[in-house]
Structure 1
Amino acid sequence: MSQARTYAHGQQHPIKLYLVVWGWLFILSTFSYLVDYFGLHGYLRWSLILLFMMLKAGLIVAVFMHMAWERLALIYAILLPPTLVLVFVGIMVFEADYTLLTRVTFFAAGQ
C-alpha cells in the first residue's frame, strides 16, 4: 500500500525553484532585448544573442524538463549528439574558409 502511495505521489520540487528559474529566464530575455536596444552589431551581437539563447534553453531543459534529476546516461544520450553536431559544424566552417582561400589563390593565379 505504501509503495503504491509513493508512486502516485511522484516527485515534488519546491515552488521556489521554479520561481527562481522564471526570474532568470526573465533576466536573460531582458539582456537579449537590450542587445538590440543598444544597437550592437556584428559578431558581438550574434555571440551575445546565441549565449543568452543557450543559457535559457539550458535552464528550461534542466529544470522544466527535469533533466537535472535524470541519470547521466540519459543526459549524455540527449545532450551529447547536438554538442557533437555543433563541433562538426565549426570544423566545416574552418574547412570552408580554407577551401575558399585555396580557390581564390589558384584561380587568381591563372589569370
Structure 2
Amino acid sequence: MAQAHASGEQGHSIGLYLGTWILLFVLSACSYVVDYVHLQGILRWSLILLFMVLKAGLIMAVFMHMAWEHLALVCAIVIPPLMVLVFVGIMAIESDYTLLMRQVSFAGGG
C-alpha cells in the first residue's frame, strides 16, 4: 500500500474487487440454496438474515472503503443501525407480551 502511494497510484488492486465480487456471488448462491432445499422456520430466516448481513458488511467494508477508515468514523456509521436493530428486537418482544396480556384480559372479561 505504501508503494502505491509513493508511485502516485490510487485505489486498491483489481484482485481485491474481483475477490469481493466472487465472495458476494458465493453468499448469494448460499442464500438461494436455503430456498432451494426448502428449509423452513427459524433456521431458514436465520440463514437468510445471516447471509444478508454478511453481504452488507462486505459491501460496506470494501466498496464503501470502511475497512480503511478511522475507528471513530466506522463506529459513527455502524453503531446507530445496530442500536436500531436492538430496539426493534426489544419492541418485538414487548409486542408479544402486550398481545398475550390483552388476550388474557379480554378472554376473562367477556
Shorter chain as normaliser: what TM range? 0.7 to 0.9
**Residue of structure 2 in register with 1:87 after alignment:** 86
Higher relative contact order (Cα pairs below 8 Å, separated by 6+ residues): 1
Q: Which 10-residue stretch deviates more, 35-44 or 47-56?
A: 35-44
User: What is the rounded CA distance, in whole Å, between the counterparts of 2:73 and 2:31 in structure 1?
Assistant: 30
Give the % identical residues. Answer: 65
Q: Which runs of 5+ in 1 are unaligned?
A: 1-5
How far 1:14 sits from its partner (Å)? 2.3
Give the aligned residue type for 1:31.
Answer: C
Distance 1:37 1:21, change over 3 A: same
User: What is the rounded CA distance, in whole Å, between the counterparts of 2:94 and 2:45 in structure 1?
Assistant: 21
User: What is the rounded CA distance, in whole Å, between the counterparts of 1:75 and 1:11 in structure 2?
Assistant: 21
Per-residue CA deviation, residues 29-75 of structure 1 (Å, 9 max, x unaligned), is 11011111111122221111111011011001100110000011111
Question: Runs in 1 of length 4+ with deviation above 6 angstroms?
Answer: none
Per-residue CA deviation, residues 70-110 of structure 1 (Å, 9 max, x unaligned), is 01111111111100000000000010011011111111111
Q: Which 10-residue stretch deviates more, 77-86 or 42-51?
A: 42-51
Task: Count the aligned residue pairs.
Answer: 104
Distance 1:23 1:79, change over 3 A: same
- CA RMSD of superposed structures (Å): 1.4
User: What is the rounded CA distance, in whole Å, between the counterparts of 2:18 and 2:90 in structure 1?
Assistant: 39
List aligned pairs for 1:1-111, cutoff 5 A. 9=8, 11-111=10-110
Q: Which runs of 5+ in 2 are unaligned?
A: none
User: What is the rounded CA distance, in whole Å, between the counterparts of 2:40 and 2:82 in structure 1?
Assistant: 26
